[in-house]
Amino acid sequence: MNIVENAVPKYIAKTPLGISIYTAADEPTHYHKDTLELIYCLKGSASVLSSYETIPLATGQILCINCNEVHGIDGQGDNLIVSFYLDFSHPFFQGQNLGNFMFKLTPDLSGPHQKTHLKELHDLILSALYIFTGDYEPQTKTFQAIADQMTQILIQYFSVYCIADYDVDIAWSKERFDRMLLYLNTHYREKLTLKSMSSIEHLNPNYLSVYFNKIFDDTFNNYLALLRVFHSEIDLLATSDTISTISYNCGFSDPKFYYKTFKQWYGTTPANHRKWHKKHNEKSRANRFYHVNEIRHIIQQYILYYFSKAQLAAHQIPMPSINLSGMSHKTYAEWRSY
């Protein structure tokens, strides 16, 4: 079975924000066109296959899945996951071209600057979840503002540039860097060279070369090759096109270089990668999604616990642990008396 563009659960009316609550099983790999997903592990643990990485996700951790990024969640035991979807094709984000931006937010980001803004995002998504599961009147403007603030946090603090910029002392503006990466991300199928990119930005090629090495610890050509391989994965897994056709379509002039770059990052050949995903999806199991009415009480209990614990921690006061075991198998009526 080939991968598919997975349908996002119904968005909140008149907003670019969607929220789903589920117990992860071993879902088929898929992607979301023009939609970014923030995966939050509320309880238990899971393993997320994302492009060429397998990322463990523990309770309280967040993972960002970029637009059009192939991914799938393998739930491990009793877990509860919440996904927040930002539809960058929604009129709310008109003209910003956010679907072509690349973000990096994984549990292993541990810099002090990242921790501060990660907590800000963490608090924001739990606040959104509290309102979403609460018995409130429709809050369109509130959810629009939340979606906008989530996006601004990602743009300002979790783009590739922002992560690298704290460690690299170089006189470059974020605006220029974002413009360059946006250009590469939308023109990767074309013939691109360091010289042509330098000409577009009115820069000396040597200066641009040094810049890319400092930011990515790699060359411009290697970064471009990785970008092309990343974009090739949907064609590889969603179509029956030949490997050679895919390599040419994503900008490689020689299929041999595509093979080499793909294996370097994914640890296998394109053909074997295709076979693995097909076999995986044939035996995969759908997630168990919850209606708000099923889950409201325990979600709100958890969020109140989280913010109470944070408040007490600020005063160095310990908080008793909360027992969330077995909740995914309880009915809403049972949770009310939990």
Task: Determine the 3-state secondary structure of 287 from DSSP.
Answer: coil
Instruction: Report whether pLDDT(322) > 50.
Output: yes
Q: What is the pLDDT of residue 32?
A: 93
Cα angle 82, 83, 87; round to 5: 155
Where do runs of H (alpha helix) occur along the chain? 112-133, 140-157, 160-165, 174-187, 194-201, 205-216, 220-238, 243-249, 255-266, 270-282, 292-313, 332-336
Q: Name the nearest CA neighbour of 43 among 27, 24, 29, 30.
A: 24
Answer yes or no: is pLDDT of 206 > 50.
yes
Minimum mean pLDDT range among 57-71, 208-222, 258-272: 208-222
In the chain the domains, ranked by start, together with CATH numbers, are 4-164 (2.60.120.10), 169-282 (1.10.10.60)
Bridge partners, 39 (sequence order): 63, 83
Q: In this predicted structure, what is the pLDDT of residue 171? A: 56
10 Å Cβ neighbour count for 96?
12
Judged against a pLDDT cut of 70, whether residue 24 lies above it is answered with yes
The pLDDT of residue 338 is 30
Other beta carbons less than 10 A from residue 299's beta carbon:
24
What pLDDT score was predicted for residue 337? 33
Say what percent of the chain tops pLDDT 70: 88
pLDDT given at position 170? 58
Q: Considering only CA atoms, which of 125, 127, 191, 197 is closest in space to residue 154?
A: 125
Quote the CA–CA distance of 84 and 129 in Å, as a whole number.
9
Q: List C-alpha distances in Å: 253 to 89, 123, 244, 245, 268.
A: 31, 46, 10, 11, 21
Beta bridge partners of 65: 37
